[in-house]
Amino acid sequence: MFESILHGLRQIAGWIIPLAQAAEVTLALSVISVVIGIIGGVFIALGRISRGKILKRICGAYIFVFRGTPLLMQLFFLWTALPLAIPALTMQNRFLAAVIAFSLNSAAYQAEIIRAAIQSIDPGQMEAAKSLGLTYSQAMRLIIFPQSIKRLVPPIGNEFIMVLKDTSLVQMISLVDLMKKTNQIQSSAATALVYLPSAVMYLIFTGVFTWLFNRLEKHHARYE
């Protein structure tokens, strides 16, 4: 029994490096997608609460489509279906395709998070800012957004954790992330033991980023 345990530990030790290398793809995809999603989400959220009916409907339709269809379907559409319809949009880089798909999807969710945070601020704040001579953009940048940050941190943290776990879907377009590498090792080594270190890595990433977002939330809470 001791020898079997020792053999298992040796196997796990040999898998750490290739799993860690694949985990870099998982982390990079998660961070880049969420950051782009936040940037896009800000503009979409502003469009959703704008007075322009056409812009409001376009942003609303964007959110409806990307929140109403599975992320895996969006990933397949971007990688396989879209190039068939428009050959000029064919992509050779799987990581780039994954970033685009995840960013577009994340932006839809981030937009609703940001919209809700902005609208949770007392409307009197905007009126007061305008009475002081500030423009709409200045009021949003100097008054509304700073007050919204604390309310944005928890849901954005949850969105990041969801994206981190959803990156496992990229194995469907043969991008070697942590989950894909885990399955490759499982197939070649003919043992499910590899799922143990892989799961531990996901838990470590989730734990670290949860801690970071909690610290960020507490930091902004000091200013209330």
Domain residue ranges of the chain, discontinuous segments joined by + = 19-221
Quote the pLDDT of residue 184: 94
Quote the pLDDT of residue 17: 93
Give the residue among 97, 101, 104 at the shortest CA–CA distance from 39.
104
| Angle at the Cα of 220 from the Cα atoms of 216 and 224, rounded to 5 degrees | 155
Q: Looking at the predicted structure, is the pLDDT value of residue 220 above 70?
A: no
Contact 91, 110 (CB under 8 A): no
Question: Is pLDDT larger for residue 9 or for residue 69?
Answer: 69
Question: 3-class SS at 185?
Answer: helix
Cα first-last separation, the chain: 58
Distance CA 95, CA 44 (A): 24
Q: Quick one: pLDDT band at residue 2, thresholds 50, 70, 90?
A: low
Distance CA 202, CA 97 (A): 23
pTM for the structure as a whole: 0.90
Q: Looking at the predicted structure, is the pLDDT value of residue 1 above 70?
A: no
pLDDT digits (tens, 9 = 90+) for 92-125: 899 999 999 999 999 999 999 999 988 888 777 7
Q: What is the mean pLDDT of the chain?
A: 89
Quote the pLDDT of residue 47: 93
Q: Looking at the predicted structure, is the pLDDT value of residue 212 above 90?
A: yes
Q: Quick one: pLDDT band at residue 131, thresholds 50, 70, 90?
A: confident
**Rg of the chain over CA atoms, in angstroms?**
22
Quote the pLDDT of residue 5: 62
Quote the pLDDT of residue 9: 67
Lowest mean pLDDT among 67-76, 142-151, 199-208: 142-151
Task: Return the CATH fold of 19-221.
Answer: MetI-like fold (1.10.3720)
Give the residue among 77, 108, 100 at the shortest CA–CA distance from 172.
77
Q: Quick one: pLDDT band at residue 147, thresholds 50, 70, 90?
A: confident
**pLDDT above 70: percentage of residues in the chain:** 94
Question: Is pLDDT larger for residue 50 or for residue 1?
Answer: 50
Quote the pLDDT of residue 141: 77
Amino acid at position 57, single letter: R
